[in-house]
Amino acid sequence: MGKVLSIRDLTVRFYTYEGIVHALENVNIDIDEQETFGLVGETGCGKTLTALSILRLIPPPGRIESGSILFRLDNNGLTDLLTLTEDDMQDIRGRTISMVFQEPSAALNPVFTIGDQIAEVILLHQKHKLAEKALKTIEELKLTRQGIRAQLANPIWSVEQLLFRRLQNNPDSIWPRIVRRIPIARRLLWRLRDEADRMAIASLKEVEIPDADRVVQQYPHQLSGGMKQRAMIAAALACSPKFLIADEPTTSLDVTIQAQIMELIRRLKAEWQSSVLYITHDLAVAAELCDRVGVMYAGTLCEVASVDDIFSNPLHPYTRALMAAVPRPGKKPEGISGFIADPINPPPGCRFHPRCHSSIEICTKELPEMQELAPGHFVACHNCLGEEGGSSS
Amino acid sequence: MEALVETKNLQTYFPILKGFLRRPVGAVRAVDNVNLTVTTGQWMGLVGESGCGKTTLGKTILRLLRPTSGHIYYHTPPDVKDEIESLEQSTDNRGRLRELRQRYDIAAFTGRQLKSLRREMQLVHQDPYTSLNPRMKVRDIVGEPLAVHKLMRGKEARDRVAEILQMVGLTERQGNRYPHEFSGGQRQRIAIARALATNPHFIVFDEPTSALDVSVQAQILLLLERLKSDYDLTYLYITHNLTVAESVCDRITVMYLGKFVEIGKPADIFYTPRHPYSQALVLTTPIPDPKRRRGRLILPGEVPSPANPPPGCRFHPRCTRSTDECRQSEPQLTASQDGEHWVACWHPLN
C-alpha cells in the first residue's frame, strides 16, 4: 500500500488588517491508499484549512506560504498539486479529489434542484462517459423506432452521433463548445443532459435515498438535513473519486442519522476503494470510523497515530486533555484551563505550552518537531514522556 | 423529595393555518400529554433528536409559549394539585377551579404573575452567538434582568453584576466589553450570568454546549455543577447528546416525537435501556474508544412529522420489535418494579 497523499511542511498564512494570521504551521500528513485518516481538533485549529489547501481553495487574503502537497494522480509517482495550473486543478476537483462540506444546507445552492447540482459535476468531468451512453441510446432508438417520425429524426440522430463520437474520443473537443453557442443547434446536446440526469438518479440511489426519481427534481429546502447530506455525498462521489475529503459531514445531524451517514461513508469507501480524509471535532466519531488519527492544535499537528494507539496511549498533553474533556459514561468531563492560542500572536515555542501541565523551559522557546516515539506513533512535544514540569497554569 | 416543577398532561400544539381565512387545518403536536416531574435540587436531562419537542417543552414550562392544555405547577402544595385534579373531573364548582388555577397553575398565569414568576425561572439559550444583543455591553446584558424586575439600581446593581460575572469566571473589567469580543465559551458564560442575575431557583438550559468545543463544553459543565451546588439550583438540561446527559444529570428523560418514551437514572438508561428508541440512541452514540466499537443498531428512516404522527406507538415505523399492538394502541409510561425506571413500550427490553 502506497501513499496517496503526502503533505509536507504546509504553511498557510492570512494577511489581514489586524496582522498575519498563522493559520497552519509546518503540517505534515501522509495518507495511505484505502485509508480513513481522521483529523481531529477544536474550532479554528486549521482542520478545514488543511483540506482546502489540498484542493487549493484557500480564500484570499490567505496564501500557501511554503510546503508541498504531493498527490498520486496516476500510477507513476506523486505530483505536487501546488505546481499545477489552475485548469489542471479544476480538472482534479470533483473528479479525483472531492469534498463533502460541513453544513449541507449552506453548501447546496438553494435555487437549483438536487438533480441539477449533481448533474453539474457529471457534465463537467464525465463528458466521455455521457457521450458513450448517449451513443448507446441513439443506437437503440435507431433499431427500435420505426415509421415516419423515426425517418424524420434519423438525420438528427446521425448528427448527434457524429458529435458524441468526437466527444467520446476527446472530452475537450471543440465541437460541442461551438454547437452550444448556436441557438437552435444547441438542442443537439440535450441528450447529454438527459444522460447526466439519469446518472444523478443512479448516484442518489447509491447513497440510499428512497424515491430518487422524485428527489432529483426537488430543491434543497424540501429535504431534511440527513437527506441533504446524502445528496452532497452523492454529488461528491458522482465521479468515483480516488480521494474523498469529508469536512464534519455529520456535525449538524442527529445521532441516529449520523450513524446512517457514517455507515454509508464506510460502505462507499470500501466499494470505491478510495481514501478518506475525515475531519471532525468529535473524538468519538473518529474512534468509530478512522484507521489513523491526527490531532491538531492552533495550526500545528501535535500527534499522529493509529486509532487504537491514540486512544489507549495518548502521548501529547493536548491529546490527553482533549480525551479527558469528552464526556463518557460514568465519568465527569474535565476542562482544559485557559483559552485557545491567538493565531495572530501565537505563543512562542510550543503553541500549547501556556495551557500545558507538563511544560518545561524549552517549550517556551522552540516549536517541537514531530518525532516517532513508537512505530507509527508521531508526537510533537518536548516533554511528552511526562517529566515533572516547572510551570503550569 | 418535593417536586419543584411538575407538568400534568401538558400539550403544546402549533396550529397549521391554511387558506384565505387562515383557518386551522391541523396542528403540529410538539408536546403531547407530557407529565414531567423535577424535584428540588435535581439535574434533569431531557434527551431527544431535533424536532422531538424538547425546546418547546422547556419554553412551555417557562410560559414563553402558551400551552394548549394541561397544568404546570411550580412549588405547589400536593393537596392543591389533588384538589385541582378532582375539580377537573366534575363539572360543578368551576369558580373554585378557576381561582385555584389562577393562583397555582402556571399554565393559567397572566401578566404580573408571569413577570414575578420569571424572576424564579430562567432560560439559557442554545446558541451564544445569537442570544446576546451585540449592541449592549456585557454588564448591561447581565444587569438588564435586575432593571426589568426593579430589584436593584445604581451602585448596588453594578456590584451585583460584578459579583455574578465573577461567579461564572469572568472579570469585572470584561463587563465593559461587547459580546463580539468574546469566544463562544465566554459568551455562554455571559448568558449563564444573565440567567443567574435574579437569583432564580430553576433554570432551563436549552442545549447550552452544542455550539461549543469539547474542552469548552467540559468547562461549562463544570461551571454548571459548581453553581448548582453553591446556589441550590434545579436544572432542566435539554440536550441531544446522550453521553453529556449521562455524565452530568441525576435523571434522564428520553423524548420522541412529543412524547416521553423513557425516564430513569442515567446509568440505567445507558446500560439497560428498556425502550427500543433509547437503545438505538445509546448504540448509535459514538464512544471515544475504538476497542468498544459496539454492535450497531441503525434505525431506518427519519423522524416522522409531528403534524401527522403515526397512530399507536409513535416509534413503531422505525422499530424492529413492532407488532400489531404497537400500530393500534398507544403505550403509557409504566414503572419498573423499583419505581425508578419508567418506559412507554408494549414490548420493553430487559
Residue B173: DSSP 8-state: G
* Distance separating alpha carbons of residues A331 and A310, to the nearest angstrom: 19
Work out the minimum CA distance from A343 to partner chain B, whole angstroms. Answer: 14
Q: Band of the pLDDT at A393, cuts 50, 70, 90?
A: very low
- For residues B152 and B143, give the distance between their C-alpha atoms in angstroms, rounded to a whole number: 9
What residue type is assigned to position B124 of the chain? V
Contacts of B281 in chain A (CB under 8 A): 255-256
- A-chain residues near B242 (CB < 8 A): 255
- For an interface test with A, which of B269, B289, B296 has the most A Cβ atoms less than 10 Å from its Cβ? B289
pLDDT of A368 reads 86
Rounded to the nearest 5°, which phi and psi values hold at B183?
-80, 170
- And the C-alpha cell for B23? 383557518
Q: Average of pLDDT values for A250-256?
A: 82
Which residue among A254, A308, A322 places its CB closest to the CB of B214?
A322
Average pLDDT value for residue range A42-46: 84
Q: Which of B270, B286, B298 lies closest to A260 in CB terms?
A: B298
Are A260 and B299 in contact (CB < 8 Å)?
Answer: yes
Which residue did the predictor score with more confidence, B237 or A334?
B237
In chain A, what percentage of residues exceed pLDDT 90?
Answer: 15
Cell of B297: 443498531
- Nine-digit cell at A243? 480521494
Write down the pLDDT at residue A225. Answer: 83
Q: What is the pLDDT of residues A297-348, one digit of tens each?
A: 988 898 999 998 888 888 888 998 888 888 877 777 887 877 777 778 888 8
Cα(A188)–Cα(A153) distance, rounded to whole angstroms? 12
Instruction: Assign A5 to helix, strand or coil.
Output: strand
- The pLDDT assigned to B296 comes to 66
At A25, is the pLDDT very low, low, confident or very high (cuts 50, 70, 90)?
confident
* Highest mean pLDDT: which range of A15-19, A355-359, B40-44, B107-111: B40-44
pLDDT of A391 over the 50 cut: no
| Chain A touched by B211 (CB under 8 Å) | no
Q: What is the number of H-type helices and E-type strands within chain A?
A: 14, 12
B260, B331 contact by CB (below 8 A): no
When computed from its CA atoms, the radius of gyration of chain B, rounded to whole angstroms, is 21
What does the alpha-carbon distance between residue B54 and residue A121 come to, in Å, rounded to a whole number?
39
User: Coil, strand or helix: which one is A102?
Assistant: coil
Cα separation, A253 vs A42, in Å, equals 18
Kindly tell me the sign of the dihedral angle through the C-alpha atoms of B148, B150, B154, B160. negative
Å from B109 to nearest chain A CA? 35
- Is residue A363 within 8 Å of residue A356, measured between CB atoms? yes
Report pLDDT for B292: 66
Residue B233 has pLDDT above 90, yes or no: yes
Single-letter amino acid code for the residue at A283: L
Strand partners of residue B12: B31
Q: How many CB pairs under 8 A join A and B?
A: 135
Nearest to B286 among A42, A284, A331 (CB): A284
Helix (H, G, I), strand (E, B) or coil at A144: helix
Q: How far is CA B201 from CA A121, B134, B197, in A?
A: 56, 28, 11
Which pLDDT value is given to residue A388? 44
B250 CB within 8 Å of a chain A CB: no
Mean model confidence pLDDT for chain B:
88
Task: Give the separation between CA A287 and CA B286, rounded to whole angstroms.
Answer: 8
Beta-carbon separation of A263 and B298 below 8 A: yes
CB B152 within 8 A of CB B143: no
pLDDT in tens, A97-116: 999 988 888 889 999 999 99
**The amino acid at A70:** L
Could you say which of B241, B271, B296 has the minimum Cβ distance to residue A259? B296
Q: CA-CA distance, B340 to A122, in Å (whole number)?
A: 57
Chain B residue numbers with beta carbons less than 8 Å from the beta carbon of A339 are 183, 185
Give B265→chain A minimum CA distance, Å.
12
Q: Which of A251-260, A360-369, B218-227 has the highest mean pLDDT?
A: B218-227
Judge whether residue A386 has pLDDT over 70: no
Residues of B in contact with A324 (CB under 8 A): 218
Percent of chain A past pLDDT 70, that is, above it, reads 97
Mean pLDDT of the residues in chain A: 85
CA atoms within 13 A on the CB side of A284: 23
CA distance B37 to B204: 14
Q: Any chain A CB within 8 A of the CB of B213?
A: yes
Element (H, E) at A97: strand A97-100
The DSSP code for B220 is H
Q: Is B6 on the interface with A (CB under 8 A)?
A: no
d(CA A234, CA A208): 10
- Comparing A330 with A371, the larger pLDDT belongs to A371
Q: Which long-range contacts (CB under 8 A, 24 or more apart) does A348-355 make?
A: A350/A380, A350/A381, A350/A382, A351/A25, A351/A297, A351/A298, A351/A299, A351/A300, A352/A297, A352/A298, A352/A302, A352/A316, A352/A317, A352/A318, A354/A393, A355/A318, A355/A321, A355/A393
- Which band of pLDDT confidence, cut at 50, 70 and 90, is reported for residue A364? confident
pLDDT at B289 over 80: no
User: Which grid cell is A279?
Assistant: 475531519
- Rounded to the nearest angstrom, the minimum Cα separation between A285 and chain B is 6
Question: Can you tell me the distance from the alpha carbon of B34 to that of B6, in angstroms, rounded to the nearest whole number?
Answer: 10
B32 interface with A at CB cutoff 8 Å:
no
H-type helices in chain B, by residue range?
A: 54-61, 78-89, 94-104, 111-120, 138-148, 154-167, 184-196, 214-231, 242-248, 266-271, 276-284, 324-328
Q: What's the pLDDT score for residue A239?
A: 85
Q: What is the mean pLDDT of residues A61-83?
A: 86
**pLDDT, tens digit, 9 for 90 and up, residues A119-162:** 988 888 888 888 888 888 888 888 888 888 888 888 888 888 88
DSSP assigned state of A350: S
Helices (runs of H) and strands (runs of E) counted in chain B: 12, 12
| B223: nearest CA partner in chain A | A335
Q: Please say whether the dihedral angle defined by the alpha carbons of residues A82, A83, A87 and A93, taken in this order, is positive or negative.
A: negative
Which pTM does this prediction carry? 0.85
Q: With an 8 Å Cβ cutoff, is B218 touching chain A?
A: yes
- Percentage of chain B exceeding pLDDT 70: 98
Q: Angle of helix B184-196 relative to helix B154-167, nearest 10 degrees? A: 130
Distance between alpha carbon B134 and the CA centroid of its chain, in Å? 26
Chain A closest CA to B317's CA: distance in Å? 15
Q: Do A254 and B270 touch (CB under 8 A)?
A: no
Domain spans of chain A, in order of start: 3-111+219-290, 117-198, 296-392
pLDDT of residue A251: 81
More confident residue, A344 or B238: B238
Distance from CA of A66 to the nearest CA of B (A): 30
What is the pLDDT at residue A38?
92
Task: Look at residues A208, A128, A142 and name the one whose alpha carbon lies nearest to residue A176.
Answer: A128
Q: Sort out which chain B residues have CB atoms less than 8 A from A288's CB and list them.
A: 286-287, 290, 293
Q: Give the three-state DSSP class for B254.
A: strand
- Choose between A318 and B294: higher pLDDT: A318
pLDDT (mean) for B219-245 = 91
d(CA B132, CA B181): 12
Q: Give chain A positions within 8 Å (CB) of B285.
A: 255, 284
- Domain A3-111+219-290 homologous superfamily, CATH: P-loop containing nucleotide triphosphate hydrolases (3.40.50.300)
| B222, B225, B289 ranked by CB distance to A311: nearest | B289
Return the percent helix, strand and coil in chain A, to nearest 5: 45, 20, 35
- pLDDT tens digits, one per residue of B148-205: 999 888 899 999 999 999 989 888 888 899 999 888 888 999 999 999 999 999 999 9
Q: Do A283 and B242 touch (CB under 8 A)?
A: no
Of A225, A262, A335, the CB nearest to B219: A335
Quote ipTM for the complex. Answer: 0.81
Among B214, B229, B240, B287, pick the best mutation site for testing chain A contact (most A Cβ within 10 A).
B214
